[in-house]
Structure 1
Amino acid sequence: MSQPVVGRPSYAAVLRLPHARRTFGAALVGRLSYGIVALSVMLAVTRSTGSYAVAGTIMALFGATSVLLSPFRAALVDRHGPRPALLPMALLYAGLLGALAAASWRPGTSALLLGVLAAAAGAATPPLGPSMRAIWRELTDEPALLQRAFSLDGVAEEILFVSGPLLVGALVQIAHPAAGIVASALLVAVGTCAFVLSPAVRDVRPATADPTAAAPSPARGKGALLLGPPIVAAGVGLALGAMDLLVLAFAAQQDHGDSVVAWILAALSAGSAAGGLLNGAINWRISTRVRLPLLTVGLALALAAAGLAPGLVTLTLAVACAGFFVAPALTTAYLLADETASPARRTQAGAWVNTAVNAGISIGTATAGLLVAQLPLGLCFALAGGITLLSALACTGRRAPSSVRSTPPSVPSSIPVAVPTASDTSRAV
């Protein structure tokens, strides 16, 4: 643990924590794999099968097993410790990605074989993100330092998920798309090995589990995870999934190309990164339980207001404003889940929030796709904002169990995370 800090620590102070740079750098190397794997798999499978429909189905299988099984993989980390759980998981994941790359390199490979390999690889995805957040708490118990640590972690992860597809785009100019899958396998293997060998990780022992809380469920009575954070995370994810499709529909309605959509969604990410950094730097005087619905209401209102935009410039500003609330809302959801969970379920707590975000993204995208063909676009924005607002109201009606650890009102504590988009199928890792 670090020594208590005096005054207001900087982000640089986080990197001066013992073993922080080595551990964090290794985790980022492994997590870069998740930024490039989705697009690489999509392109490689499309080239191998010649079918976008098959590629979409296989990506859905990969994303479903990766996201839905995330809490159970995180439970293994909590139960056995990061080193015994993550290393075999990462090596299995890398091996399955290698097999998928080899199979997709050849034209005409069976879609069934590709689907089985993709689903198996997704099921083995190591939860490096939740594991790194748990290790930050091993590195320091100083609330102000911990706040900056999670802020730095979230912004760095955001950069990885934005830059990953760009790296794939450069790679496919000189190599087969399956080379991106190979690169992803190497990154996760090397990064995870370096991560678990770090002194900050290798000596971590699993906390004694509560025998009444063995099953990884977010609703299991006293000591269970609070339902509020996953509910709000699902609402935020739904807003993000709907926003991606609605922005695309708005651009098409005004006869603009797909490149414009990319710039608008980039504004969303920029707004989220700015909001996450600011949220991490503020000395909050209200509790996470109060902050969570307030931030979500801000997102809901900004999303609804985006439907009133008369043109692309105002839409871009509205989307950036909505993004400004995304990372803080998800950050606070992570924090509240972490406060609710016992030490024996800390990694799993974050994984449940991640799973809820990804589920919300999928539902939001699918629902917006159905509504946009039937209703005016402005009303679709308003409905998406309204559902997000309902998730905030649901959170206000739920109280933490008696075992919840409260953060002192004068101590800021938040955990920004990367902003998911509809194209990111492995955010819960």
Structure 2
Amino acid sequence: MSSTHVVRPSYAAVLRIPHARRTFVAALIGRLSYGIAPLSVMLAVTRASGSYAVAGVVMALFSATSVFLSPARAALIDRYGPRRALVPMVAAHTGLLGLLAVLLWRPGAASPLVIAAVSGLAGACTPPLGPTMRAVWGRLAPDRAMMQRAYSLDAVAEELLFVSGPLLVGLLVGFAPPAAGIVVGAALMVVGTAGFVSSPAVRAVPAGGREPGPDAAGRRVLRGLGRPVIAAAAVGLALGVADLLVVAFAEGHGHGAGGAAWVLAALSAGSAVGGLLNGAVEWRASAGARLSVQAAGLGLALCGAGLAQGLGTLAVAVAVAGVFVSPLITTAYLIADETAAPEARVQAGAWVNTAVNAGITGGAAAAGVLVGWLPAGVCFAVTGALMLVTAVAVARGAAREKGYGTSRTPRMTR
């Protein structure tokens, strides 16, 4: 009697997929710009204008146009294909970043209105490299287990980019004006995107073509995205709240910004570990069930953070919370890819990405209000309770879909 030995796909196996390593590295080089350019713009505007208010308005415009127009830019990727859509986006985005660097190189060289206008336009043209790369993973991965590992690897790498980007800016401004960071961010975007679109894996992605109509296209993209988008918005809100609450907690206990940095580092480390573990496990539960459990785990961990009496216990609590962050976002992307129409995968991923970023923005604003009225511990508990409510809503949504028998035909092995 013979037996079949099943080899579990590993992260190394993901990178051994033909063209995967080249495509992924190129996308990461371009995406590193996301961790460098925005911070450099904020520092350069502050230095050039001498006003935090002006810097805040400029960054609000840059972030708002970048985040909320992301699904529209992703629709162009789906319709025309990555090569035809990304190249003009990158040209416009990096050209505007270059112009912004010129305007900000010397203090007082340009009016705040001009700076704000150019910044808003630059954000509007931000290329959606993350959602596009995840759509390419969906084509490269031969099965769901391999794609789960690919998505987890992508999420962890993105987490590290957003940690290392600000560190690189900190090193750069030690010997160059902040506007130089804008130039570096633009250069990384050009180099990374050039390598990305020239990859055989990206060249093979077909254009989706024209949809039957705007209403039909919208329904096809949004159908089934309720659960992942709600969960992504909730985890984004939790992250936005946690960032400010950690700072408030550290200052309230006499530790200052240095102590807060260590706690936030613990959050990122927990997220990276959770992402790697999530991709390494052969899950038997469905993605919908995992999404609910992950949201509940994050909620309980945040409630635990509300009980912390010192910076050490808070660091442990937020590290545990971080373990659920990356898996939750990864699972949301998996569900979005599974439920989206084949020609709308980039848009589906962009909606999840937009929900996370919008949640972070809203969470930071909400925390700014709450922290003035309530102790940090209570704010953590309220945020945790909101995540628990989200877990219940996601679970009900999954049960409703299962009851209706709505499931997508499994993807065939390529």
Using structure 1 for the length normalisation, give the TM-score: 0.90
Picking from 405, 408, 414, the partner of 1:405 is 408
User: How far apart, CA to CA, are the structure 2 residues paired with 1:61 and 1:147?
Assistant: 34
Partner residue in 1 for 2:283: 284
Distance 2:380 2:212 in 1: 45
**Which residue number in structure 2 is paired with residue 157 of structure 1?**
158
SS for the counterpart of 1:211 is coil
Equivalent residue number for residue 83 of structure 1: 83
Structure 1 Cα separation of the partners of residues 391 and 213 of structure 2: 29
Q: Is the 8 A contact 1:223 1:342 kept in 2?
A: no
Secondary structure of 2:165's aligned partner = helix
- SS of the aligned residue for 2:174 comes to coil
Rounded to whole Å, the distance in 1 between the matches of 2:197 and 2:146 is: 22
Q: Give CA-to-partner distance per residue, 1:159-194, whole Å, 9 cap, x none.
A: 111101111111111111100000111111111111
CA contact (8 A) 2:93 2:125 kept: yes
For 1:377 and 1:157, the matched residues in 2 are separated by 28
- CA shift in 2, pair 1:213/1:277, >3 Å: farther
User: Is the Cα–Cα contact under 8 Å of residues 213 and 224 in structure 1 kept in the other structure?
Assistant: no
1:273-302: per-residue Cα shift (whole Å, max 9, x none)?
Answer: 100110111111111111111110110110
The separation in 1 between residues aligned to 2:217 and 2:99, in whole angstroms, is: 30
Find the aligned partners of 1:301 and 1:43 in 2 and give their Cα distance: 36
Give the match for residue 95 of structure 1.
95
CA contact (8 A) 1:239 1:384 kept: yes
Aligned residue type for 1:354: N
Per the alignment, residue 426 of structure 1 pairs with none
Matched residues in 2 for 1:237 and 1:173: separation?
A: 31
Q: Deviations over 1:25-51 (max 9, x none)?
A: 111110111110111001111111011
State the Cα distance separating 1:392 from its structure 2 match.
2.0
Name the structure 1 match of 2:57: 57
Q: Which residue of the partner structure matches residue 104 of structure 1?
A: 104
How far apart, CA to CA, are the structure 2 residues paired with 1:176 and 1:404? 54
> Aligned partners of 1:85 and 1:225: how far apart in 2?
26
Q: Which moved more, 1:135-144 or 1:253-262?
A: 135-144
1:125 equivalent in structure 2: 126
Q: Do the aligned residues in 2 keep the contact of 1:339 with 1:406 (CA within 8 Å)? A: no
Task: Tell me, yes or no, if the aligned pair for 2:222 and 2:348 is still in contact at 8 Å.
Answer: no
Residue-by-residue CA offset, 1:102-140 (whole Å, 9 max, x unaligned): 001121120001100100000000000011111112222
Deviates more, 1:388-397 or 1:204-213: 204-213
2:182 alignment counterpart: 181
* Residue-pair matches, total: 402
- Matches for 1:375-390 after TM superposition, within 5 Å: 375-390=374-389
User: 1:354: Cα distance to partner?
Assistant: 0.9
Query: Are residues 130 and 387 of structure 1, via their aligned partners in 2, closer, same or farther at CA, if it must alter by over 3 Å?
Result: same
Relative to structure 1, the CA distance from residue 79 to residue 225 in structure 2 (aligned partners, 3 Å threshold; closer, same or farther) is farther
Where does residue 391 of structure 2 map in the other structure? 392
Shift of 1:378: 2.0
CA distance in 2, matches of 1:151, 1:72: 25
- Counterparts of 1:33-48 in structure 2, within 5 Å, are 33-48=33-48
- C-alpha deviation, 1:403, in angstroms: 6.1
1:365 corresponds in structure 2 to 364
| Partners of 1:222 and 1:402 within 8 A in 2 | no
AA of the residue aligned to 1:196: V
CA contact (8 A) 2:211 2:217 kept: no
Aligned-residue CA RMSD (Å): 1.9
Unaligned runs of at least 5 residues, structure 2? none
Q: How many percent of aligned residue pairs carry the same amino acid? A: 61
Q: Which residue of 2 aligns with 1:332?
A: 331
Matching of residue 192 in structure 1 with residue 193 in structure 2: yes
The residue that corresponds to 1:350 in the other structure is: 349
Q: Which amino acid aligns with 2:279?
A: G
The aligned residue for residue 232 of structure 2 is: 233
Deviates more, 1:389-398 or 1:240-249: 389-398
Q: Distance in 1 between matches of 2:410 and 2:289?
A: 12
Q: Residues 225 and 80 from structure 1, CA distance in 2 versus in 1: closer, same or farther, beyond 3 angstroms?
A: farther
SS in 2 for 1:173: coil
Post-superposition CA distance 1:358-379 (Å, at most 9, x none): 1111111111111111123222
2:275 is aligned with what amino acid?
A: G
Name the CA distance, whole Å, in 1 between partners of 2:38 and 2:129.
Answer: 16
Deviation digits for residues 320-378 of structure 1 (CA, Å, limit 9, x no counterpart):
00001111111111111111101111011111011111111111111111111112322
CA offset at residue 387 of structure 1? 1.5
Distance in 2 between residues matched to 1:312 and 1:235, nearest whole Å: 25
Structure 1 or 2: more helix by fraction:
2
Change (3 A) 1:208 1:112: closer
CA deviation vs aligned residue, 1:295-327 (integer Å, no higher than 9, x gap): 101101100110101111100000000001111
- Is 1:172 paired with 2:159? no
Task: Write the distance in 2 (CA, Å) between the matches of 1:403 and 1:197.
Answer: 38
